[in-house]
Amino acid sequence: MTKLIRGGTVVSSTGASPADVLVDGEKIVAVLEPGSAIAESAASSADVIDATGKYVIPGGVDVHTHMEIDSAGTTSSDTFETGTTAAAWGGTTTIVDFATQSHGERVREALDARFAAASGNCAIDYGFHMILGDVTDEALKEMDSLVAEGISSFKLFMAYPGVLLSDDRQILQAMQKCSDNGGIVMMHAENGIAIDLLAEQAAARGDTGPKNHGLVRRAELESEATHRAIKLAKVGECPLYIVHLSASEALEEVARARNGGSNVFAETCPQYLYLTLEDHLGAPGFEGAKYVCSTPLRSKHEHHAADLWTGLRANDLSVVSTDHCPFCFKDQKELGLDDFRLIPNGIGGVEHRMDLLYQGVVSGEISLARWVELCATTPARMFGLYPQKGTIQPGADADIVLYDPAATWTISVDNHHMNMDYSAYEGIEITGKVDTVMSRGEVIVSGDAFRGRAGHGKYLERGLSQYLV
């Protein structure tokens, strides 16, 4: 069955123009000039979707999510089904989630468990990165097979000593391996040894509330780790992608490396653009627990968010992902009522990334084309999914969002679809709204109706990053 999306403005990473999009089965087959003879003749036989007044954009690609992941004695509250359904509601049609090799665990076992959890349960297409929590000789060997099987990115941690932390030797080994096999290293860049000391000292002083999570995870300790990761990647001759960058000082490190010609990339997340240490993490009582994530929210007095917007414009930040890692306030965040170190780390936001970033278009921080580039095209290219994903062009998957720039609404726990009992973005007024979402040619969201299904989403075997020189 063919579908013709007619009358909209197609937005790509390079610009926007009126065009009709012809879809056949799961694929985009043509992008047509409106009113052209081909468009008119297609209209007579196709199922026509009216996109008048709407932007027609590639489905969002969120390359950093954690569905149903075990952490801090609990499990993130979105399953693959609920999380990918919420993503779809928000105009995201691809996620790249993580499999985690814990200390002492075999890489393959960890990965198989994630395949089993996701398979048949996703409403949109999905891939995996591999988290290496134990860089052994065996794990290093396994990295080659994983790249060959479409898992071409490996997350390492400089934080969480004794749990996930890799030391500099292990980091360098993994980087050398990626240098050989074409993989890319994703880095959680925070000095966890120093952070744990400061956290212990805070707890010993009786400073046990949520805000202390942000106070001990100092910006210097993010920038120091970012700097070290960059230098190690230089020695290891490996491309590097810094995840969830939040501090201006860390951004400076990335910018310096990029100006020097290194293959260093970074993502930030909406929470660092919208939420702050004082107003959110430092909210009265235990309220701040809702905003505990790592890296932490930064001080509103230090202009981090303004610097991040600049980085997004200047391409020192290449991608916006969510680091979607939701926990309910009740019973989950509450695990850390007496000690901020026990609060599960994470914020849910997979549903709101496209809208929150679109506010940057509304306010003039970024262009319409840059919005699409940051949220769809570059993440697809960075992680080997392009041009199957992240673009509207013939041959690409028909993952298409009709976005209504005129709609206004307010984010709330009462209207979101994530499996969370609060919204970190409660009360934020949004201009623009997802109207229709198509995944591989199937309409899965239409206005206020979800028409998708768990199991529609397919596993994506990814190629190598297309950002490497």
- Identity of the residue, 188 or 218, whose beta carbon is nearer to ligand DUC in the bound complex: 188
- Out of 345, 378, 388, 419, name the contact with ligand DUC by CB under 6 A: 345
Contact between 168 and 454 under an 8 Å Cβ cutoff? The reply is no
For the bound state, the minimum distance from the C-beta of residue 323 to ligand DUC, rounded and expressed in Å, comes to 5
Would you count residue 190 as binding Zn ion (CB under 5 A)? no
For the bound state, the minimum distance from the C-beta of residue 356 to ligand DUC, rounded and expressed in Å, comes to 18
Q: Token digits for 205? A: 């002083």
How far is residue 16's CA from residue 97's CA, in Å, rounded to a whole number? 30
Would you count residue 129 as binding ligand DUC (CB under 6 A)? no
DSSP classification of residue 234: H
Name the nearest CA neighbour of 86 among 343, 354, 297.
354
Which long-range CB contacts under 8 A does 387-390 form with residues at least 24 apart?
A: 388/460, 389/58, 389/59, 389/61, 389/93, 389/94, 389/125, 389/460, 390/58, 390/61, 390/94
Would you count residue 323 as binding ligand DUC (CB under 6 A)? yes
- Identity of the residue, 56 or 418, whose beta carbon is nearer to ligand DUC in the bound complex: 418
φ, ψ for residue 424, nearest 5 deg: -65, -20
- The sign of the CA dihedral 232, 238, 243, 245 is positive
Contact between 296 and 317 under an 8 Å Cβ cutoff? The reply is no
Strand, coil or helix: what is 37? helix
- Out of 20, 97, 323, 355, name the contact with Zn ion by CB under 5 A: 323
* Residue recorded with tokens 């702050």: 276
Would you count residue 267 as binding ligand DUC (CB under 6 A)? no
For the bound state, the minimum distance from the C-beta of residue 244 to ligand DUC, rounded and expressed in Å, comes to 5
- Identity of the residue, 69 or 135, whose beta carbon is nearer to ligand DUC in the bound complex: 69
Q: In 10 A of CB 328, how many CB atoms?
A: 18
What DSSP element (H or E) covers 222? helix 219-236
User: Which of the ranges 180-188, 234-242, 248-256, 366-374 carries the binding residues for Zn ion, by CB under 5 A?
Assistant: 180-188
- Identity of the residue, 9 or 223, whose beta carbon is nearer to ligand DUC in the bound complex: 223
The interface partner of residue 345, options being Zn ion, ligand DUC, none and the CB cut-off 5 to 8 Å by kind, is ligand DUC
Site string for Zn ion, 267-306 (x = CB under 5 A): ----------------------------------------
> Which single residue brings its beta carbon nearest to ligand DUC?
294
- Identity of the residue, 316 or 323, whose beta carbon is nearer to ligand DUC in the bound complex: 323
The interface partner of residue 68, options being Zn ion, ligand DUC, none and the CB cut-off 5 to 8 Å by kind, is none
Binding site for Zn ion (CB under 5 A): 188, 323
Binding site for ligand DUC (CB under 6 A): 66, 188, 243-244, 294, 323, 325, 345-346
